[in-house]
Structure 1
Amino acid sequence: MSVFILLFSIFTALQTVDEPSSNADLLLMERNLSDYIWDKRLLIISSDRDSDLLVEQLTLLSEVTNDLEERDLVVIQVSGYRSFALFGDAVAPAAKGLKDKFSLGKSQNYKAILVGKDGTVKQRWETVFDPTDLFTIIDAMPMRIRELDSSVSEQ
């Protein structure tokens, strides 16, 4: 069983985030999102939990976990009013806040969004994508180029 599928199963069983019941819940979600700024990139995947596209995407991503980690990527899955941190060192922000902030809407159709370390949307997909396409986009970002340059100069 792949790492992603295993993690998905664990988080599905253990971690649920219901619809925010107050403005305080929304503010907490915003603080959580702001914690990622300048530290992590986000890949947010919105889909039905049992979507074939979701399973296919997670399988592809499970094969490149070292590459995800190297690029400081946190993978978050959103289904309905639940969110799950699937990869990276994060607890998922509230699903409603993610849906509102990144215009995911109420549809459960498959969508994936890459959010840069600056907090802006860098790419949107409505179908399964090859992780090499994801890495090409990230590796062309000015911040990533600086990260690579600084790691070379430290060696």
Structure 2
Amino acid sequence: MSKTLLYGATKIDETNAAYAAVATIEQFQWKNRVFIVFADADNSRAARQENQLLADRVALDERDMIVLKLVGSSIKPLFGSGDGLNGEALREELEAPETGEFAAFLVGKDGAIKLKASEPISSGELFAIIDSMPVRAGETVRPEK
């Protein structure tokens, strides 16, 4: 499985395009994490990814997730809303693979790409990545009694 975890760097170089905010989905910045699935030609890996994620809608909701699927340049919201997005612009900005190839991207609340995967990722792996992020840690802190 090929995936690049961009979050785990000790020093983040914000001049690197990989860490730049994704402007096409800036409407979600500081509100939602966005997971984008780019469908493959036969849609098998995309369907597997979709099934993995949607099996735990409560966990998606707890993590303020929006899940989108791109088929060609068409955007289909799978969880949450993706109104007003331009699929072609999103594909170009994320430097996603050619139409017909599978890819999955996680964009954090800060608008930066946190994960690029060329194979489906389990929901457990995805949630572990999200739960290790400082913003998420701040969300789960409970006040002392």
TM-score under structure 2 normalisation?
A: 0.78
State the Cα distance separating 1:50 from its structure 2 match: 4.4
Conserved 8 A contact 1:139-1:145: yes
Distance 1:89 1:112, change over 3 A: same
Distance 1:78 1:153, change over 3 A: same
Where does the alignment leave 5 or more consecutive residues of structure 1 unmatched? 1-29
- Secondary structure at the residue paired with 1:93? coil
State the Cα distance separating 1:90 from its structure 2 match: 3.6
The percent of aligned pairs where both chains have the same amino acid is 28
- Secondary structure at the residue paired with 1:97? helix
Backbone CA RMSD of aligned residues:
2.0
Residue 120 (1) aligns with residue 112 (2)? yes
Equivalences, count:
124
Where does the alignment leave 5 or more consecutive residues of structure 2 unmatched? 1-21
Superposed CA offset, 1:17-50 (max 9, x none): xxxxxxxxxxxxx876221000000000001474
* 2:124 paired residue number: 132
Residue 65 (1) aligns with residue 57 (2)? yes
State how far apart, in whole Å, the 2-side matches of 1:60 and 1:148 are. Answer: 23
Larger relative contact order (Cα-Cα within 8 Å, sequence gap ≥ 6): 2
**Structure richer in helix, relative to its length:** 1
